[in-house]
Chain A
Amino acid sequence: MGVTSMRRRGTLKTGLLPGGNVALEKIGLTEEDVRDEIMSEEQDLVKELVTMSTRECIQAIRDLPMCMEDKKNIRNQVLASKSSKKGFLLTCSADCSEQISLSLRRCGVGLSSARQAVRLWQGTMKEIGGRFGTSVLSYFSFLKWLLMFNTISFLVNFGFITIPQLVQTSGRSPDVRFTGLELITGAGYFNQTVMYYGGYINGTKDSDFKYNMQLAYFFTIAAYLVLCGVSLIYSMARSFRRNFVLSDLSSGSAWRLLCSWDFSMVNERAVRQRKNNLRVQLKESLSEMMQTNFLPVSERMKQLGIHLCTWVVSAGLAAGSCAAIYYLCQYNLQQIKVSQNPGNLKEEASTLLLPFVVSLFNLVIPLLYSLLSKVENYSNPRFQIYVIILRNVFLKMSILSILCFHWVNNVTTNVPMCWESYVGQDLYRLVIVNFFFSIFGSFFGEFLRRIIGTRCMPSIGIPEFDIATNVLDLIYAQTLTWIGIYFSPLLPLIQMIKLFLLFYLKKVSLNRNCQPPRRSGRAAQMQTIYIALLFFPSFVGALSLVAYTVWCLTPSDSCGPFQGLNTTFEAVSLWMEDTAIISEFSWAVWIYSHMIKSELFFFLLALIFLVLIYFFWQITQGRKMLIILLKEQIINEGKDKAFLLEKLRTFQNLSLVPYHAENVHGPQYFERTYQTESDYSEGYQRGACPEEDTPPFASSALMQAMMARRQAEEEDEEY
């Protein structure tokens, strides 16, 4: 492509012109020759750009590594040659379409600049990134991303399900008084409102209201979940490709020194701290190099034993908490059966015990896990982080699965009234109490620790912002929301408000109590892992629970839009039967009965996908081998280049003997001769220290190639 040649051209121009005239004469080239070379390369590039479409052309020019003036020159040349080509075919319509596309582009630019102006939290995120770096910023971007999911969910649910219901039942008000406790327990006044499943009724049977609430409820939630799934898979795949496939698994000095400096840090103290951290990390990696890693067998067995013990203890803790929660759930159910007075305040408050215990376990047990990990000794700190994350995810998901199991098995049969509303209320309480515990955790984990670290025990120091724990907390809360969409369509609103408040709380706590992270870890790879965790146990689990509820469970008889049906999905079957009568939609009915309902179709589809996966896997293996071969080729080319340059230099040394008779030492010293000329070094002041042995020209290989070509032309002329 022209791009690589243009890079050389840029360096050629800047390297030669300041002081190069004198030196150029010495090797027999004039400035004009160099300029001609540059012009011809430019013309090649312009020719290449003219053949592209306008948008590709603009993108290619944008990506050229040149200063803006040169890019504008190139652009003008391209436009000139394009219009001269069109000059022969210039018609009115071509001119008009040109003007229209130009004005459309300007319009688009205006719109996107307006969109940039209203981006949420832009200034705050810049500030956080400037003080704490990109890895802490990734937590806040993740929060913003989840906020977007919940906003879409709320808007969709509100628009398609809640508003029709409100219109339908306007005038009817629930017969329970509003006390403040409802905001936390979610029961009482909220019980019969549109907050939960029970507040929705399918009105097509009673009145002339033509809105089929059953289909609306089902399809809205299904469409939103499918959209979520697609968007998550897309983000996950893109992130994986960018951050895992091409990356080097070992973090070496080269990366740390050259690629990891965060240019966006603007706070002096943060910069100083970052420099300290880098120094410490480099020293550590140097000392690691010198240490030998051989441990005797007994040490290894001991390490293995410790690892096994800690895993058993963590699994035991998780199992213990699950059992405790299960017994508490059973106790709650029994209380409902026993209770006579449904509006009793004390009973409503006792429903808060379960969420309290769940959140307490979610807060305390990870702390125990991090204590355990201090006992273990991991050689690789990144591996340690992975193990901690794995254990935390295991704990949270097992607690959630016990709760889901309880809801699906016991609640459906034992609760006298609306079991879906009961589950919805449980989820509401879990979300609210989780929020309070997040604030709590922030208070204890950051504020108190800072006070202790600065006043009482200075050895601990100021805490860092624990990204992993906070992100896993967000993922857990989002799982609850996704599970709760079916049982409580307005739960995303609560989650939205919660995330909004959490952003500001965490920001304040971060600014006051935390210091920037000490280890500059692989932020991009951790991002991918978090997105993958959001997809795999979190979204998939929620989706399977909702799918199971829709497919297999009987909706309650006394409330909700699906009263009287055997399963929720039956609503769709009934609808299909109704449309089968109408002959225009027989294709839809055919699709439904032969593709969605038949197992053979899905079996064949799965088989085809498996074959495709195998095929792509083989392609990947082939590409890996190709990469290895290409790397070897690069090494060989480097050796060839060095060999040929050496030959060229010795040959030119011999042919230009009058200038360099005393300096024919070898390949490295050819360039040094220019530095001994005082008039040359005056003209070349930027950057080069006189005592270093670096070549003065930007690209000596190119210069020598040009020289060799010039000499060959001269010899041709002689003959």
Chain B
Amino acid sequence: MGNKQTIFTPQQLDAYQVGHSARREAGLFYRYHNLAPQLVPLDYTSKPDVKLPYELIGSMPELKDNPFRQRIAQVFSEDGEGNMTLDDFLDMFSALSEMAPRDLKAYYAFKIYDFNDDDYICKSDLEKTLNKLTRNELTEDEVRMVCEKVIDESDLDNDGRLSLEDFQHMIVRAPDFLSTFHIRI
């Protein structure tokens, strides 16, 4: 394995302190590089503009069985399609690491579950989440009832959909969230 100093300049390394995966840039960089060795140069000191397509990201062993892998890639990518630069990649694993605080994780989890990107989790978003999690094996009625129950339980300001604050309030009452919203790499 090469030295951290040969991949990044010291200024770049300092700049990466803004992420929560701050001490693992070298390991994460090598994971990124191994996804497409011919596309990703080993020397990032000149800040090359390299973007890996979603298919490569989605084939990583940590993500390939995750039902939300497409949403995760879309949320963290710059272009919104799932094609990630190295910064996006580091961002993703920083937010999903164990050191990220609860608010940050809640924010990104909210964005992942918000399928239509309108800043609210409405009933259709909940239905899509439910279908991804149960392999479409619940009946229409059951899906509808579960989504209604979810909104009933967690909608604080009674507007029929979950805003970020409602979602965060629910997360505060679920202490397991910090350990389940976590991808080990």
What is the interface of chain A, defined by CB distance below 8 A to chain B? Answer: 3, 7, 11, 14-15, 18, 58, 61-63, 65, 67-69, 71-72, 75-76, 102, 105-106, 109, 112-113, 116, 126, 129-130, 134, 242-244, 246-248, 252-255, 257-268, 271-272, 275, 278-279, 282-283, 286, 289, 522-525, 631, 634-635, 637-639, 641-642, 686-689, 692, 694-699
**A7 pairs with B65, CB closer than 8 A:** no
CB of A687 within 8 A of CB of B174, answer no
Question: Which of A243, A264, A278, A286 is close to B184, meaning CB atoms less than 8 Å apart?
Answer: A264
Interface string of B8-32 (1 = CB under 8 A from A): 0010011111111011101000000
Q: A271-B67, A275-B133 are in contact. List 4 more A-B contacts (CB 8 A).
A: A109-B22, A264-B180, A264-B184, A265-B65
CB atoms of A134 and B180 under 8 A apart: yes
> Are A694 and B134 in touch, CB under 8 angstroms?
no
B interface residue count range (under 10 / 10 to 19 / 20 to 34 / 35 or more):
35 or more
Residue from the set A75, A126, A267, A279 with the largest chain B CB neighbour count within 10 Å: A279
Q: How many A-B residue pairs have CB under 8 A?
A: 218
In the complex, residue of chain A having the shortest beta-carbon distance to the beta carbon of B103: A63
Contact across chains for B138 and A283 when beta carbons are under 8 A apart: yes
Please provide the chain B residues from 63 to 95 with a CB less than 8 Å away from any CB of chain A in the complex: 64-68, 74, 76, 78, 80-81, 87-88, 90-91, 94
Known: A68-B88, A257-B150, A687-B116. A113 touches B130 (CB 8 A): no
List which B132-185 residues lie within 8 A (CB) of chain A.
133-135, 137-138, 142, 145-146, 149-150, 153-154, 156-159, 164-165, 167, 170-177, 179-184
Residue B101 lies at the interface, judged by CB distance under 8 Å to chain A: yes
Known: A279-B138, A283-B142. A688 touches B124 (CB 8 A): no
A242 — nearest CB in chain B belongs to which residue? B175
Q: Is the CB of B180 within 8 A of A692?
A: no
Judge whether B23 and A694 touch: CB under 8 Å: no
Which of chain B's residues has its CB closest to A114's CB?
B23
Q: B157 — nearest CB in chain A belongs to which residue?
A: A638
Contacts of B55 in A (CB 8 A): none
Q: CB of B7 within 8 A of chain A?
A: no
Would you list 13 pairs from A and B whose C-beta atoms are within 8 A, ordered by A residue? A14-B117, A62-B22, A63-B103, A67-B91, A68-B90, A76-B15, A243-B175, A244-B175, A247-B175, A252-B153, A259-B180, A289-B149, A694-B122
Compute how far the CA of A264 lies from the CA of B170 in the bound complex, rounded to whole angstroms.
Answer: 21
Q: Mark B36-74, 1 if CB is under 8 A from A, else 0.
A: 000000000000000000000000011011111000001
Q: List, in ascending order, chain A residues with CB within 8 A of B104's CB.
A: 63, 65
Contact A67 to B87, CB < 8 A, known contacts A14-B80, A134-B176, A248-B173: yes
In the bound complex, CA of A177 to CA of B1 (Å): 53
Q: Is the CB of A286 within 8 A of B179?
A: no
Q: Which residue from chain B places its CB closest to the CB of A248 in the assembled complex?
A: B173
In the bound complex, what is the Cα–Cα distance between A108 and B145 (angstroms)?
A: 53
Q: Please, how many angstroms separate the alpha-carbon atoms of A555 and B20 in the complex?
A: 55
Please tell me if the beta carbons of B119 and A699 are within 8 angstroms of each other in the complex.
yes
Q: Which residues of B contact A522 (CB under 8 A)?
A: 175-176
List chain B residues, Cβ under 8 A from A11: 119
Question: Which residues of B are found within 8 Å of A253, using beta-carbon distances?
Answer: 146, 149-150, 153
Complex: A639 Cα to B150 Cα, angstroms: 20
Say whether B117 contacts A686, CB under 8 Å: yes
Contact between A258 and B66 (Cβ–Cβ < 8 Å)?
Answer: no
CA distance A427 to B150 in the complex (A): 53
A641 to B158, CA, bound (A): 11
Whether B19 pairs with A62 at a CB distance below 8 angstroms is yes
With A279-B138, A638-B156 known as contacts, the answer to whether A259 contacts B177 (CB < 8 A) is yes
B17: chain A residues within 8 A (beta carbon): 58, 62, 105, 109
Cβ-closest chain A residue relative to B122: A694
CA distance A697 to B170 in the complex (A): 25
Residues in B neighbouring A268, C-beta threshold 8 A: 65
- Which residue of chain B is the closest to A126 with respect to CB atoms? B184
Q: Which residue of A lies closest to B152 (CB)?
A: A254
A524 close to B18 (CB less than 8 A): no
Known interface pairs A65-B107, A282-B142, A524-B175; A698-B180 also in contact (CB < 8 Å): no
Bound complex: CA of A160 vs CA of B125, how far in Å? 63
Report Cα–Cα, A260/B109, bound state, in Å: 12
Q: Which residues of B contact A244 (CB under 8 A)?
A: 175
Which chain B positions have C-beta within 8 A of A272? 135
Q: Check if A282 sits within 8 Å of B146, measured CB to CB.
A: yes
Query: Which residues from chain A contact B164 at a C-beta distance below 8 Å?
Result: 7
Query: Closest 8 A-B residue pairs measured CB to CB?
Result: A638-B157, A248-B173, A243-B175, A65-B107, A259-B174, A524-B175, A254-B153, A71-B18
Q: List A contacts of B96 (CB < 8 A).
A: 263
B156 touching A67, Cβ below 8 Å: no
CB contacts (< 8 Å) of B18 on chain A: these are 58, 61-62, 68, 71-72, 75
Bound form: Cα–Cα A639–B175 in Å: 29
| Contacts known (A246-B175, A687-B116); A257 close to B22, Cβ less than 8 A | no
